[in-house]
């Protein structure tokens, strides 16, 4: 009889988005994300393939194609086979922190209040140096104005 693995997908991720106003931070979104099939294969191959070169996560992309309705209320479903955002409009570098006791790594990126004004942002993904998408999440649209910036923390959990 085959061994049944626990329900938690390995690795898994959690996307948190905050809207950053001059005088306050407003939590907007905090949900699990999907790790792509190619990312899972890359992580697994590092365990058994000799001579494998590193391809670390380096950028975050946000986009406008992540909902099925014009109002941006209903996110599109995502699958493990996706390799790009539905419609990327912005790329920014990420920084990261690690917690080896859990073990997790959290990637951090910001969209300043001066960028993407008038854009409905509703999808995000982390990308590696080679341009491979690691994970993706669609969410209800953020109607971006100059009144706030967007702070994104994306935690990947290997526990």
Per-residue pLDDT of the chain (159 residues; tens, 9 = 90+): 444 434 445 568 899 999 999 999 999 999 988 777 777 777 777 667 777 778 889 999 999 999 999 889 999 998 888 899 999 999 999 999 998 888 888 999 999 999 999 999 999 999 999 998 989 999 999 999 999 999 999 998 877
8 A C-beta contact, residue 66 and residue 122: yes
| Ramachandran angles phi, psi of 12, nearest 5° | -130, 170
8 A C-beta contact, residue 35 and residue 11: yes
Q: Distances in Å between the alpha carbon of 108 and those of 10, 37, 118? A: 21, 22, 23
d(CA 99, CA 13): 14
Q: Domain locations in the chain?
A: 12-46+57-157
Q: What is the value of pTM for the model shown?
A: 0.85
């Amino acid at each position: 009889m085959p061994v049944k693995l626990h329900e938690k997908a390995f690795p898994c991720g959690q996307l948190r988005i905050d809207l950053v106003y001059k005088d306050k931070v407003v939590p907007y979104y905090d949900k699990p994300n999907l790790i792509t099939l190619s990312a899972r294969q890359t992580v697994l191959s590092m365990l058994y393939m000799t001579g494998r070169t590193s391809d670390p996560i380096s950028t975050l992309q946000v986009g406008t194609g992540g909902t099925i309705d014009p109002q941006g209320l209903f996110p599109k479903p995502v699958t493990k086979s996706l390799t790009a955002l539905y419609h990327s409009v912005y790329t920014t570098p990420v920084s990261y922190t690690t917690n080896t006791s859990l073990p997790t790594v959290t990637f951090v990126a910001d969209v300043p209040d001066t960028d993407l004004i008038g854009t409905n942002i509703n999808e995000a993904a982390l990308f590696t140096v080679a341009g491979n998408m690691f994970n993706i999440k669609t969410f209800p649209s953020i109607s971006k104005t100059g009144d706030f910036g967007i702070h994104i923390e994306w935690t990947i959990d290997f526990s």
